[in-house]
Each structure stands twice: as C-alpha cells, then as structure tokens.
Amino acid sequence: TCLHSEEVALIAQAIGLELGFTSQEAKLLHIAGHLHDIGKIGIPDAILKKNGPLTHEEYNEIKRHPEIGAEIVAPVVGAMGHGEMIKIILHHHERFDGRGYPAGLKGNNIPLGARIIAVADSLSAMLQNRPYRDAMTFSQAVEEIIACSGTQFDPQIVSAFIVIQDTVHELVQSIRGVDM
C-alpha cells in the first residue's frame, strides 16, 4: 500500500499541475493521494488480503473505506481548514456517470480532487498484480482509462492525464525502479 499511495500522490499532483492547480493546491492533492485509502485500516485483513473474488458482503465492507477514511482524517485536516481533503477521501470512488460510491455523486458534483484521485488510483491499481488479475502494462492501463472516460472518469481529467502520460510513466518507473 505504501507504493500505491506514493504513486497515487505523485500522479494526482502531476494531473493537478497540468490542470492549472497552484503549487499549494497540488501539494494538498499530493497529501490526499497519500491518505485516500487510510480507511482500509478499518477493514478486516481477512477481506483485504483475500485471494480470490470477494463475496457481496465482503465487497460492501470494502466499500466502507472512503467513509472510514473521512472519519479518521476529519478531526485533523478539518481543524487545519482542509475540508476539501476530507471530501476527496470520501468521494474518490465516485464515478463520473453516478454509479460510484458512497454517495452516487455524478459529474461535477464530485469534488474535483476526488475526480483526479480516481484516475490516479485506478492507474496505480491496474499496474499492480491483484489476486483476481495480473498487472497491466502502462499502455494497457492508459487505454483502459481512455475507454472509461465519460463513464468512470471525468473526460477533462482523462485529457489532462493523456497530455502528461509520458511524464507519469517516468514517475511510476522511478518509484518502482523498473522499466515498464
């Protein structure tokens, strides 16, 4: 999870900068990338580390992690005046078409930072082996993100990602220390 969080943080920051975020806004997005899955500490290891498909009940338990994460960080980041970060953590699994969770938000009703984290999170996840599938190549993952533009992902975020995909590829390779 450390590798995943670092990738999400750096990819999200790069996308934010491409979209015109200030360095401070991009830095907050970077921090949100590190914290986006913190709620998984409230999910039993038997579910998180399960080999094979999850049951319906197990999947519903996993879907609680954004809400748990928002509850965990709220006292700290809320006190610092970063309420937007709480919303990013809470809504990073929303889908642009409204079929995500936990609130089923759609389109621009999803906080912008959460829409950015969604792309970064998905890219990193696709590049990693999972119990239910092998890792994709970088180019396969990019094609999947493009294919999901307008449904899972905000087309504006996907467009920004496409512009910087070579930079993102280099970032991921440097984090992992391998050619991909």
Tell me what pLDDT residue 129 has. 85
Q: Which of 131, 172, 168 has the alpha carbon at shortest distance from 15? A: 168
Tell me what pLDDT residue 78 has. 63
Residue 121: exposed, middle, or buried by beta-carbon count in 10 A (0-12, 13-18, 19+)? buried
Tell me what pLDDT residue 80 has. 66
Tell me what pLDDT residue 3 has. 86
Token pair for 56 = 């319906």
> Do 127 and 172 touch, CB atoms closer than 8 A?
yes
Tell me what pLDDT residue 140 has. 97
Tell me what pLDDT residue 51 has. 84
Average pLDDT per consecutive 10 residues, the chain (180 residues; last block may be shorter) = 90 98 94 96 93 92 97 81 88 98 98 98 93 88 98 98 97 84
- C-alpha 141: how far from its chain's center? 14
Q: How far apart are CA 12 and CA 17, in angstroms?
A: 9
42-49 long-range contacts, CB within 8 A, separation 24+: 42/68, 42/72, 43/68
Contacts of residue 20, defined as CB under 8 A and 6 or more positions apart, other chains included, come to none
The chain-wide mean pLDDT, for the chain, equals 93
> Do 149 and 161 touch, CB atoms closer than 8 A?
no
Residues 127-160 pLDDT 10s: 998 777 889 999 999 999 999 999 999 999 999 9
Q: How far apart are CA 95 and CA 153, in angstroms?
A: 6
Helix (H, G, I), strand (E, B) or coil at 75: helix
Task: Report pTM.
Answer: 0.94
